[in-house]
């Protein structure tokens, strides 16, 4: 299982071991270069990208999630599962807003909030949480590390009450900057080549015989939408966060995007005209609207609010029924 704080943990463990040997790993531009040969990884060095989890949450996406819950209100009496909880910044904020918070993490020993207990959970296994238990699940910056993303979404569906909300954030490969990067170098950032052996593995947990992926499984807005539908969710909201300056500059291409999407919409409607017209029109318009949404085209992160509308098996059955018509 992969957790966003894995490389923070890896850095701490590596520094601990180097101190024991009288050596401190070199840090260049604030990013540690950690040799993991002693952990069973080949002698090449791997870069660990997150060195301070609380700082990352504060200055990247965490503060937008906090503002989302502050502006929403109505948290007193609600049960919120925070996973992965990391050091506990979000759990503390939600508790202060009146929610009953249950924090979980693959490494609960890194949780630092007094008066709260963080319990162990592994997203590659069934979560140790009862079914239909929570009103909210907060899942920040974790989906892009998971090989089986549908399984994770189905587990979140299982633990949520009917109408419960999954608040999810992940890096945004659907913004205009990322789309241009993919066209030019098949990557996510202009200054980095695509994910490869040098950065695909962030941390090796030798005690469990497992390694933890970096951003190997970046997920687009459209893929997230369809996986969420298969898992029994609908998109209840797409919320703002930091905008990418280069994506904003590329906004001059918006008319071209609209024309291509309109052309594809019309072609797809004709191709699947045997299906129920009103349902098909609604679905395709939702897909097109997602392609043209400024909060996706210009934002650095995907910040989705998903509502549980049915169980996963019910969603699958509905798809089959529609396509058989």
Strand order, beta sheet including 160-171: 119-120, 100-105, 79-82, 134-140, 160-171, 301-308, 233-238
Which domains can be identified in the chain, with CATH numbers? 6-324 (3.40.50.150)
Q: How far is the C-alpha of 62 from the C-alpha of 119, rounded, in Å? A: 21
Select from 50, 109, 52 the least CA-distant residue to 85. Answer: 109
pLDDT, tens only, 11-50: 444 444 444 444 434 433 333 333 334 334 343 333 333 3
Mean of all residue pLDDT scores within the chain? 84
* Residue 247, token pair as written in the block: 């994506």
pLDDT, tens only, 141-180: 999 999 999 999 999 999 999 999 999 999 999 999 999 9
pLDDT, tens only, 251-285: 999 999 999 999 999 999 999 999 999 999 999 99
Select from 63, 56, 108, 64 the least CA-distant residue to 82. Answer: 108
pLDDT value for 164: 98
* Residue 27, token pair as written in the block: 């840090």
pLDDT value for 134: 98
Burial classification of residue 131, based on how many CB atoms lie within 10 Å of its CB (0-12 exposed, 13-18 middle, 19 or more buried): exposed
Contact indicator for 81, 137 with CB cutoff of 8 Å:
yes
Whether residue 90 has a cis bond before it, omega within 30° of 0: no
Q: How far is the C-alpha of 83 from the C-alpha of 75, rounded, in Å? A: 17
pLDDT, tens only, 39-90: 343 433 333 333 444 433 444 799 999 999 999 989 999 999 999 999 999 9
């Amino acid at each position: 299982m992969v957790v966003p704080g894995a490389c923070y943990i890896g850095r701490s463990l590596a520094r601990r071991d180097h101190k024991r040997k009288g050596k401190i790993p070199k840090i260049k531009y604030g990013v540690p270069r950690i040799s993991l040969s002693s952990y069973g990884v080949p002698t090449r060095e791997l870069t660990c990208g997150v060195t301070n989890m609380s700082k990352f949450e504060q200055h990247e996406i965490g503060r937008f999630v906090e503002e989302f819950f502050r502006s929403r209100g109505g948290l007193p009496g609600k049960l919120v599962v925070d996973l992965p909880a990391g050091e506990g910044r979000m759990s503390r904020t939600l508790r202060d807003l009146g929610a009953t918070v249950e924090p979980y993490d693959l490494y609960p020993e890194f949780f630092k909030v007094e008066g709260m207990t963080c319990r162990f959970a592994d997203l590659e296994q069934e979560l140790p949480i009862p079914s239909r238990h929570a009103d909210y699940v907060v899942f920040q910056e974790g989906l892009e590390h998971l090989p089986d993303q549908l399984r994770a979404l189905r587990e979140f569906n299982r633990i949520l009450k009917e109408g419960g909300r999954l608040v999810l954030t992940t890096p945004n490969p659907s913004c205009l900057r990322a789309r241009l990067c993919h066209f030019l170098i098949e990557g996510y950032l202009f200054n980095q080549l695509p994910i490869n052996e040098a950065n695909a593995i962030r941390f090796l947990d030798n005690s469990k015989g497992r390694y933890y992926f970096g951003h190997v499984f970046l997920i687009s807005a459209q893929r997230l939408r369809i996986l969420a539908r298969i898992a029994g969710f609908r998109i209840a909201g797409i919320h703002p966060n930091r905008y990418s300056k280069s994506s904003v500059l590329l906004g001059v291409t918006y008319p071209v995007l609209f024309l291509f999407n309109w052309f594809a919409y019309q072609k797809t409607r004709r191709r699947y005209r045997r299906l129920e017209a009103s349902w098909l029109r609604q679905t395709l318009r939702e897909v097109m609207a997602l392609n043209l949404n400024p909060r996706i085209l210009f934002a650095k992160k995907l910040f989705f609010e998903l509502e549980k509308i049915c169980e996963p098996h019910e969603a699958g059955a509905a798809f089959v029924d529609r396509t058989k018509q």
